[in-house]
């Protein structure tokens, strides 16, 4: 007989590719976990994991079994969510993944108030790249992601919540500041500083500028993942970068003369809550979306004010 516990154990081993780590995450001893997986393999008459490899990997058949195990556990969890929804019970856990170009600017606007209003929801937040969020959603290691869409992934649902304008931040002596009008063609220069690979915002900027990756005119090569760092470098070394609107809100207050909008074009990035198709905590999704839209400037809810720049 197959048990839900055995299915949880093979999923844990698949996630961590290590028996001891999987056992630790499941709060059992390694012999207990190994014994239950062995019993499952004997019952099915198959080998789920190739133990000769390091790290441990599933066999071809094991991969299919693990995928079905994930589906079984998701359907089982849905029963609990149906009951919670019927009782209007807003409790339980919520695991959120959010990209680095959103988290420092968006989270402070809503997450504190959210946790005060709904203390029974146990929230865990991870700052991750988009591809990591997608992977963790599909492995049921996250409940929702907050990132830039469209993803064009048939396994993931998207609920757009706002639209950020893409703005320019430049140094105080930049020639851009003397222009009466500032157009999109002005930024196709080698003075542009970019985030490193992995950031969807980097890809959006490259697509917007129609420039060759790696072309620059900087005093040194910088491979960084923080917009804040790039901004400080620009203040010292010159040049410019593009920033999303939320990042620009505080900068406009402090350095309004260094933040520019295009006169001929309004590039936008679409920010959405994403989740896999099976996800059942729709009331919580609606709550998160509601709190975010209430916390941002009203204009950022308007898709019609510009053109979405895709990154994938």
Specify the 3-state DSSP secondary structure of 300. Answer: helix
For the chain, domain boundaries: 4-85, 90-162+269-308, 164-268
Surface-to-core class of residue 238, CB atoms within 10 Å of its CB (0-12 exposed, 13-18 middle, 19+ buried): middle
The candidate with the shortest Cα–Cα distance to 229, out of 100, 47, 92, is 100
- Mean pLDDT, all residues of the chain: 89
CATH fold of the domain at 4-85: Arc Repressor Mutant, subunit A (1.10.10)
pLDDT in tens, 199-235: 999 999 888 887 544 456 666 677 778 999 999 999 9
Where residue 280 falls among pLDDT bands split at 50, 70, 90?
low
pLDDT in tens, 72-126: 887 787 776 666 665 565 667 899 999 999 999 999 999 999 999 989 888 999 9
pTM attached to this predicted model: 0.78
CA–CA dist 3, 17 (Å, integer)? 21
- By mean pLDDT, which of 68-72, 192-196, 255-259 is the weakest? 255-259
What are the beta bridge partners of residue 163? 270
pLDDT of residue 120: 87
DSSP letter (8 states) at residue 301: G
Percent of the chain with pLDDT over 70: 91
CA–CA dist 27, 293 (Å, integer)? 38
Q: CB under 8 Å to 279, separation ≥6 — which residues? A: 143, 144, 157, 285
CA–CA dist 58, 251 (Å, integer)? 49
Is the four-CA dihedral 228, 229, 230, 231 of positive or negative sign?
A: positive
CA–CA dist 147, 252 (Å, integer)? 23
Q: What is the CATH number of domain 90-162+269-308?
A: 3.40.190.10
How many other CB atoms sit within 10 Å of the CB of residue 309? 19
Q: Where does the chain have alpha helices with state H?
A: 4-16, 19-25, 30-44, 60-86, 103-117, 130-138, 200-209, 227-237, 245-255, 282-295
pLDDT of residue 91: 67
Higher pLDDT, 223 or 46: 46
pLDDT of residue 254: 77
pLDDT of residue 64: 94
- CB-CB contact of 134 with 183 (8 Å): no
Q: Which residues of 30-43 are buried (b: 16+ CB within 10 A; e: fewer)?
A: eeebbebbeebbee
Radius of gyration over every alpha carbon of the chain, rounded to an integer in angstroms: 23
The candidate with the shortest Cα–Cα distance to 98, out of 251, 303, 246, 305, is 246
CA–CA dist 172, 170 (Å, integer)? 7
CA–CA dist 74, 50 (Å, integer)? 25
CA–CA dist 12, 30 (Å, integer)? 12
Are 90-162+269-308 and 164-268 in the same CATH fold?
yes
Percent of the chain with pLDDT over 90: 63
Q: CB under 8 Å to 169, separation ≥6 — which residues? A: 231, 234, 240, 241, 242, 243, 248, 251, 258, 259, 260
CATH code matching the domain that covers 164-268, chosen among 3.40.190.10, 3.40.50.1820, 3.90.1280.10, 3.30.300.20: 3.40.190.10
């Amino acid at each position: 007989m197959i048990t839900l516990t055995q299915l949880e154990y093979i999923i844990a081993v698949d996630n961590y590719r290590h028996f001891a780590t999987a056992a630790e995450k499941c709060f059992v001893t390694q012999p207990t976990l190994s014994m239950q997986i062995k019993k499952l393999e004997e019952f099915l008459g198959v080998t789920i994991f190739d133990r000769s490899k390091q790290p441990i990997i599933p066999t071809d058949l094991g991969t299919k079994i693990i995928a079905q195990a994930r589906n079984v556990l998701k359907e089982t969890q849905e029963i609990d969510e149906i009951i919670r929804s019927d009782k209007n019970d807003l409790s339980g856990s919520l695991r959120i993944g959010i990209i680095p170009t959103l988290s420092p600017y968006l989270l402070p606007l809503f997450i504190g108030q959210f946790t005060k209003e709904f203390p029974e929801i146990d929230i865990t937040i991870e700052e991750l790249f988009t591809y990591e969020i997608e992977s963790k959603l599909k492995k049921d290691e996250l409940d929702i992601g907050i990132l830039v869409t469209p993803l064009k992934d048939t396994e993931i649902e998207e609920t757009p919540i706002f639209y950020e304008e893409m703005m320019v931040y430049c140094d105080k002596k930049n020639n851009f500041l003397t222009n009466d009008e500032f157009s999109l063609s002005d930024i196709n220069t080698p003075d542009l500083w970019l985030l490193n690979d992995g950031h969807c915002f980097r890809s959006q900027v490259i697509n917007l500028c129609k420039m060759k990756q790696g072309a620059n005119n900087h005093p040194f090569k910088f491979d960084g993942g923080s917009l804040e760092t790039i901004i400080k470098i620009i203040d010292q070394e010159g040049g410019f970068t593009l920033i999303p609107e939320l990042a620009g809100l505080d900068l406009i207050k402090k350095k309004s003369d260094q933040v520019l909008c295009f006169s001929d074009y309004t590039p936008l990035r679409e920010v959405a809550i994403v989740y896999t198709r099976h996800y059942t905590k729709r009331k919580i999704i609606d709550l998160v979306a509601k709190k975010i839209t209430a916390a941002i400037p009203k204009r950022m809810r308007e898709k019609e004010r510009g053109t979405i720049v895709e990154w994938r």
